[in-house]
Amino acid sequence: MPSPQNDKSSLSIETTHVSDRVVLVVSGRMDAENAPEFEEKCKACIAAGHTVVVADLSGLTYVSSMGLRSFLSVAKTLQSKGGALRLCSMKGLVKQVFEITGLLQVLSVYESVESAVL
Amino acid sequence: MSVPGATRSLTIAAKPAPLSAVTEFVRKGALEASLPEARIGELDLLIDELLMNVSIHAYPDDMPGDVTVTYSVPAPGELSVELADQGVEFNPLKTEPPDLTLSLQDRPIGGLGIHLVKTIATSLSYRREQGWNRLTFGISAGS
């Protein structure tokens, strides 16, 4: 039984670049308390001129509906600029949550970082 | 091991949504019910969504109030959890389901929490009783 890990510090977002694409490596848990951090990181990428943002979710273990709001909000913003939020490598509960809410069909979802940055 | 039918309760301020405290509390029930690892994340999600619901809808704006979380283990592999509050009457089960066929452009960014709860919980019920909102859900090892 793992210990509860839903404190604010449990989300980490690292900004990297792969093949000239900005890639946010999102790890930990995303809920109401920390989802805005993801939006802030994406806003910074957009402000820097990126219209395509890749989010590597391989290390994300939990997302609530408040986290989904952030993904949707960023995806809409990027789409309005002719770009996209590309999600990749989601698994487990996170993938289940995206499936249940039908977001796998409306968001750009990739199997790997390599395919998402093309 | 739990005594069959025994219940445990935690009463705590509903704002800000006390996610960590309630999750930690209810996970004891998950342990007593011997829920498998795959169910723990789902249990966290159910608690998360329903606490947010209480925080936003039962106690809107700056309205203060408590939420009482009670769990029991009706049978091995089954956990029953009730969230009770004395806020504004609100039945989340009556909310309109989201239209999952809409395009990204047309999809609202909210309204997905209760849909997640309805899909993941093994059982779900609501009743308004003498000024209390009582939302009960079940989660089982095999759900």
Confidence of residue A32 (pLDDT cuts 50, 70, 90): confident
Q: How far apart are CA A113 and CA A55, in angstroms?
A: 8
Judged by CB atoms within 8 Å, which residues 94-113 of A form the interface with B?
A: 97, 100-102, 105-107
User: Residue B17 is nearest to which of A32, A62, A106, comparing CB atoms?
Assistant: A32
Q: How far apart are CA B29 and CA A116, in angstroms?
A: 41
- Positive or negative torsion for Cα B57, B104, A26, A81: negative
Residues 6+ apart with CB under 8 A from B130: none
Domain count, chain B: 1
User: Does the pLDDT value for residue B3 go beyond 70?
Assistant: no
Mean pLDDT of A50-71: 96
In a domain, B128, yes or no: yes
User: Residue B107 is nearest to which of A2, A31, A72, comparing CB atoms?
Assistant: A72
List the CATH number of the domain containing B21: 3.30.565.10
Which of A41, A53, A58, A43 lies closest to A17 in space, CA to CA?
A: A53
> Cβ-count burial of B117 within 10 angstroms (0-12 exposed, 13-18 middle, 19+ buried)?
buried
Tell how strand A84-88 and strand A52-63 pair up.
parallel
- Taking CB atoms and an 8 Å limit, are B19 and A6 in contact across chains? yes
Residue B5 is predicted with a pLDDT of 62
In a domain, A106, yes or no: yes
Q: How far apart are CA B113 and CA B53, in angstroms?
A: 8
In a domain, A104, yes or no: yes
In a domain, B96, yes or no: yes
In contact, A60 and A26? CB cutoff 8 Å: yes
**Complex-level ipTM:** 0.91
Which of B7, B131, B110 lies closest to B66 in space, CA to CA?
A: B131
Average confidence score pLDDT of chain B? 94
Mean pLDDT of B70-94: 96
Amino acid letter at B135? L
> Cβ-count burial of B60 within 10 angstroms (0-12 exposed, 13-18 middle, 19+ buried)?
exposed
Report yes or no on whether pTM surpasses 0.80: yes
In a domain, B1, yes or no: no
What domain range includes position B23? 7-140
- Helix, strand, coil shares of chain A, percent, nearest 5, are 40, 30, 25
Residue A4 is predicted with a pLDDT of 45
State the smallest CA–CA distance between residue A21 and chain B in angstroms.
22
List the CATH number of the domain containing A101: 3.30.750.24
pLDDT above 70 coverage of chain A, percent: 92
User: Residue B105 is nearest to which of A68, A73, A79, comparing CB atoms?
Assistant: A79
What domain range includes position A60? 12-116
In a domain, B86, yes or no: yes
Domain count, chain A: 1
